[in-house]
Amino acid sequence: MSKVLVAYFSRKGNNYVSGNIVNLAEGNSSVVAHKIQKLIGADLFEIKAVKQYPTDYDEMTVVAQKEQNSDARPEIAKPLPDISQYETIIIGHPNWWGTMPMAVMTFLENYDWSGKKVLSFCTHEGSGMGSSESDLKRACRGAEFSKGLPIKGSRASSSDSQIENWLKENGLL
């Protein structure tokens, strides 16, 4: 078992990519998470909400915004029992309404982050990390943080060198 965990939330289906709505067989954050896992041999965990998000982009954005506005905590399907065996945890997610999806917040609030090193990456189409880094710091009290990696979703499949440089900067490669 690796001492590094990549926990990510991603959504396939209709996504906003380069100004258009396109159907993705695999979400952009999943693409990046798998690239990281392959490079460093980390354990991989997909954060999934019990109630799946709509595949239609417009419907999904309505649900995502309602969750954010109500500070919802969607139930997680098959949560990890604990994270104590990991020294470093990489959190990955898309940028939804300026931060991470609320299902990621549910995941984060279930664990003790004391003494953990937390890295994060975010896929987006122009809004970068948004407030997700500060939100992550509030949710993961006691952890040590490094600068996050924003990756334009439309470039997720070609982000290898960007990911490698970020991992090197953080001593993981």
| 63-114 pLDDT per residue, tens | 999 999 999 999 999 999 899 999 999 999 999 989 999 999 999 999 999 9
| pLDDT value for 16 | 86
What percent of the chain has pLDDT above 90?
91
The per-residue pLDDT for range 117-136, each reduced to its tens digit, is 999 999 999 999 999 999 99
pLDDT of 161 over the 80 cut = yes
pLDDT band at residue 158 under the 50/70/90 scheme:
very high
Residue 146: other Cβ atoms inside 10 A: 17
- Tokens for 132, please give them: 């997700």
pLDDT band at residue 55 under the 50/70/90 scheme:
confident
- Sign of the C-alpha dihedral, residues 93, 99, 103, 109? positive
Cβ–Cβ under 8 Å, residues 92 and 62: no
Residue 132: other Cβ atoms inside 10 A: 27
pLDDT band at residue 18 under the 50/70/90 scheme:
confident
pLDDT of 1 over the 80 cut = no
| pLDDT value for 2 | 65
Domain 4-169 architecture = 3-Layer(aba) Sandwich (3.40)
How far is the first Cα of the chain from the last one, in angstroms, to the nearest whole number?
17
Q: What is the mean pLDDT of the chain?
A: 95
Spans of all domains in the chain: 4-169
How large is the C-alpha radius of gyration of the chain?
Answer: 15
